[in-house]
A and B are shown apart, each in its own frame.
Chain A
Amino acid sequence: MEKERFLSVDWQSPDMNSGAVADQLPRPFLDLGWEQPVHHDAKFESAISSLVSSPSLNPSSGNGSVVVRELVGWLGSICDSGDISQTSCYSTPLNSPPKLTLPVLGHRQQGGGGLPMPGNEMADGQFTGFAANPGFVERAPRSSCFGAWSYGGLGDQSGLPEAGNLSRVPSSHSLKSAGALQMGVPDNGKDASKSNPERIETEMRSKLGGGMPPSSTSGRTMASGAANNVSKRKAASRGRGKEAPLSSSNVNSPTAAEDEHPDAKRCKPAKTNGADKDSVVKQETEQNIGASQKKGKENNAKPQEPPKDYIHVRARRGQATDSHSLAERVRREKIGKRMKLLQDLVPGCNKITGKAVMLDEIINYVQSLQRQVEFLSMKLATINPQLDFDLETLLQKNMHQEHEPLPQQVYPSEGTSTAFSYAQQHQGSPLQSAITNGLGVGQQPLCPFDGLADATSQLGSFWESDLQYVVRMGIGQSQGAEFFSQSLHAD
């Protein structure tokens, strides 16, 4: 029962306040929950007393009693049940620890320090027992007071930009209150010391960093619960009839992963009608501590923002998750891949880093190649005869048996091309090496042109297009045929 009273106290204070205290309460409690038990006792007591004694809390103490009763009853049920369903409100194991300390701290206050501060142990016990804020928020609609509190506490965007983000502990408010707690000063002393907040912030950060792994291990049950919850939420969001675009589905398949993967946020339409705050909190809790706080604040600032695009790309840690940035990242990755390919193609570009310089190199290389083609073509224009001879010689060596079968109406080149293709099939390497040598030396005789007739009809159309170009160049058909026949029959 002490637990409930503590919890009621926690709820009470936020209920009174518009929400500033509510956020302050969990955070210092969350942080302190990671500290050593002994450390907690004094801190909690002083903190709670200070908070309770704050003028903002006092006025509505009377009203709060009624609220408290309801809260107590509800919390008692939660405590007693302590089943996994409670853990479903945990989005990720990372976020559970911070929320767990909430009731623990509440404990402290009422018990007057009588209860041993379980610290993490109790936190573990209460992992399953107590619902974190998201869980509370879930049940908010059930009780008006809860709803008021939850929305006031978590949904107060104006008061605290990080209202809903319990995972982001190092916030100025929490630091302030934590500082107050640690120093045991009254509420008005929250802003007394700024030095403490920094210290506490670092402490919190280190604790959270260190605490996350243990929490993740201990919170496996919660992880499953969180997964269930998240999957439920996602199913609900999916059920809203949104279809992922084709491109995003392509991206999704390689990047699909579990929900409770701590290192990534899933880009999902988190904001749903009627569950905005809830989803806000959940999305916040899904974020890593250290993940884009800016993004989280963005989410907080507009809880009603339109649902995100179903691009299903894993947003990397510390990166934004809106559809535009994800598409941009995909595009940038594609461009990066292509640039790597080009880097391999262009010789001497291995050391170059940077797209601009690389592009310059590519441009230079293509330009140089084109200039080379022009130059070589000019050169080839002058060294005409030998080439013809070579070609004739090569063809002759292999054609001496096949002169007659070659049909004249069909372009002889087709026959030769057939032979080439045949050669490629049978003995690709010797011919290829000959070709790669520029056909300079006729040491590699072409393969015998076997089955010319068979392949001719097959490849006729293929070469037709090529020869058509030649035709368009001003060469008559008859001329071409005549030329080839000459080359073939010449000695």
Chain B
Amino acid sequence: MDSKGSACSNPNPNPTFGPSKLMLAFRFLRALSIVHRTTPASSPTCRGRRIERAAYASMAYSAGTSRAWSRAVLRRLHHRARRRAVAPRRLSTTAGNRAEALRRLVPGGAGMDYCTLLEETADYTKCLSMQVELMQGIVDSASSNGR
């Protein structure tokens, strides 16, 4: 676990170092495969939602539990999985106060002070962009390889 733990967890408080792309990719691909296997093809929306949840889950697991946002994501996902609730929805940020809007965007941002919020936003943004890159790559490769 050490090798992977160090690669995945982020004990460094400096937010410049993010989770490794490799582990993120692996987790996500695996979860993706599982979703494809388990959900019927007739319900692409349901599958899509699951894929989205899988994406967030892999992101959070890759980031490790040292990040407040990853903990919040996992907490939310586990709760929802238990309660069979709807997938977590993003709230639009029409609030005049930018800090509030940011808090709503970043998971777990409600209970943070502004300074921590900025730090968590940075890390979350990094992970999110990595995830998006990965998914985009998968889609591109799949479409390029598609017959």
Interface string of A129-167 (1 = CB under 8 A from B): 000000000000000000000000000000000000000
**How extensive is the interface on chain A, given as a class?**
35 or more
> In the bound complex, what is the Cα–Cα distance between A363 and B128 (angstroms)?
13
What mask results when residues 412 to 430 of chain A are scored 1 for a CB within 8 Å of chain B, else 0?
A: 0100110011001100100
Could you tell me if A331 and B115 are in contact, using CB atoms closer than 8 angstroms? yes
| B side interface size, CB within 8 A | 82
Closest to B43 in A: A381
Residues of A within 8 A of B55 (CB): 373, 376-377
Q: How far is the CA of A383 from the CA of B146 in the complex (A)?
A: 8
Q: Judging by beta carbons under 8 Å apart, are A360 and B139 in contact?
A: no
Given contacts A440-B144, A469-B77, contact A475 B38 (CB under 8 A): yes
Residue B71 lies at the interface, judged by CB distance under 8 Å to chain A: no
Q: Does A345 sit within 8 A of B, measured CB to CB?
A: yes
Known contacts A387-B36, A473-B50: does B22 contact A420 (CB below 8 Å)? yes
A-side binding surface: helix, strand, loop or mixed?
Answer: helix
Q: Nearest B residue to A466 by beta-carbon distance?
A: B61
Contacts of B119 in A (CB 8 A): 338, 341
Distance in angstroms between the alpha carbons of A359 and B106 in the assembled complex: 13
Answer yes or no: A382 CB below 8 A from chain B CBs.
yes
A435 & B118 in contact (Cβ 8 Å cutoff): no
* Cα A63 to Cα B36 with chains together (Å): 104
A342 to B102, CA, bound (A): 13
Known contacts A378-B45, A383-B139, A462-B4; is-contact A417 B26 (Cβ 8 Å): yes
Q: Please state if B134 and A359 are interface contacts (CB–CB under 8 Å).
A: no
> SS class of chain B's interface: helix, strand, loop or mixed?
helix
Q: Which chain B residues lie closer than 8 Å to A416 at the CB level?
A: 30
Interface residues of B in 1-42 (CB under 8 A from A): 1-5, 7, 15-16, 21-23, 25-27, 29-38, 41
Is the beta-carbon distance between B115 and A334 smaller than 8 angstroms? yes
Chain A residues with CB under 8 Å of B32's CB are: 380, 387
Find out whether the CB atom of A390 lies under 8 angstroms from the CB atom of B145. Answer: yes
Cβ contacts A367-397/B at 8 Å (1 or 0 each):
1011111101111111111111011000000
Question: A480 interface residue, CB < 8 Å from B?
Answer: yes
Kindly list chain A residues whose C-beta atoms are within 8 Å of the C-beta of B61: 465-466, 469
Taking CB atoms, residues of chain B closer than 8 Å to A436 are 21, 25, 133-134, 137
Contact with B138, one of A338, A438, A458 (Cβ below 8 angstroms)? A438
Give the interface centre of B27, B44, B101, B139 by most chain A CB atoms within 10 Å: B139
Chain B CB within 8 A of A240 CB: no
Q: Which residues of A sit under 8 angstroms from B77, Cβ to Cβ?
A: 469
Of residues 434 through 456 on chain A, the ones whose CB sits less than 8 Å from some CB of chain B are 435-441
Q: Does A335 contact B (CB under 8 A)?
A: yes
Q: Does A235 contact B (CB under 8 A)?
A: no
The reply to whether A373 and B135 contact each other, CB–CB distance below 8 Å, is yes
Judge whether A346 is part of the interface by a CB distance below 8 angstroms: yes
**Inter-chain contacts of B58 with A (CB < 8 A):** 466
CB <8 Å contact, A366 and B121: yes
* Nearest A-chain residue to B37, judged by Cβ: A483
**1/0 contact string of A336-357 vs chain B (CB within 8 Å):** 0011011001100000000010
Q: How far is the CA of A335 from the CA of B116 in the complex (A)?
A: 9
Question: Does A431 reach chain B (CB closer than 8 Å)?
Answer: yes
Contact A378 B143 (CB under 8 A): no
With an 8 A cutoff between CB atoms, is B72 at the interface? Answer: no
Complex Cα spacing A342 to B82, Å: 35
Contact A480 B34, CB 8 Å, known A338-B119, A386-B146, A432-B21: yes
Q: Is the CB of B98 within 8 A of A377?
A: no
Residues of B within 8 A of A458 (CB): 1-2
Contacts of B78 in A (CB 8 A): 469, 472
| A373 and B142 form a contact (CB under 8 A) | no
Given contacts A345-B122, A391-B33, A466-B27, contact A424 B22 (CB under 8 A): yes
Beyond contacts A372-B136, A465-B61: 10 other A-B pairs, Cβ-Cβ < 8 A, are A331-B115, A338-B15, A339-B118, A342-B121, A359-B98, A378-B48, A381-B51, A435-B134, A440-B144, A473-B38
* Closest CB pairs A-B (n = 4): A440-B141, A438-B137, A338-B118, A377-B51
20 example contacts (A-B, Cβ-Cβ < 8 A) are as follows: A335-B114, A338-B115, A341-B119, A342-B125, A366-B125, A369-B129, A370-B128, A372-B136, A376-B55, A379-B139, A424-B3, A432-B21, A435-B22, A435-B134, A438-B142, A440-B140, A458-B2, A466-B58, A469-B74, A483-B34
